[in-house]
């Protein structure tokens, strides 16, 4: 799994200890079938 977290005004923060805030942008690289199954939505946005 490759996860990038972007925060407005800052560089990409790769640390797993980064506490997510409202407005943070998560970009996850995933295979298409994984996306189609909606599993990322379940993992992140539920």
Chain residues in the site for another protein (CB under 8 A): 1-5, 14-32, 34-35, 39-46
What distances in angstroms separate CA 8 from CA 5, 18, 19, 43, one per listed residue?
10, 14, 14, 23
Cβ at position 36, least distance to another protein in Å? 10
Cβ at position 10, least distance to another protein in Å? 14
| Closest to another protein by CB, 9 or 42 | 42
What distances in angstroms separate CA 10 from CA 5, 6, 23, 35, 40, one per listed residue?
10, 7, 13, 27, 24
| Closest to another protein by CB, 1 or 11 | 1
């Amino acid at each position: 799994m490759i996860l990038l977290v972007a925060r407005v005004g800052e560089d990409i923060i790769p640390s797993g200890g980064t506490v997510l805030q409202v407005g943070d942008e998560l970009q996850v690289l995933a295979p298409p079938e994984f996306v189609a199954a909606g599993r990322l939505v379940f993992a992140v946005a539920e």
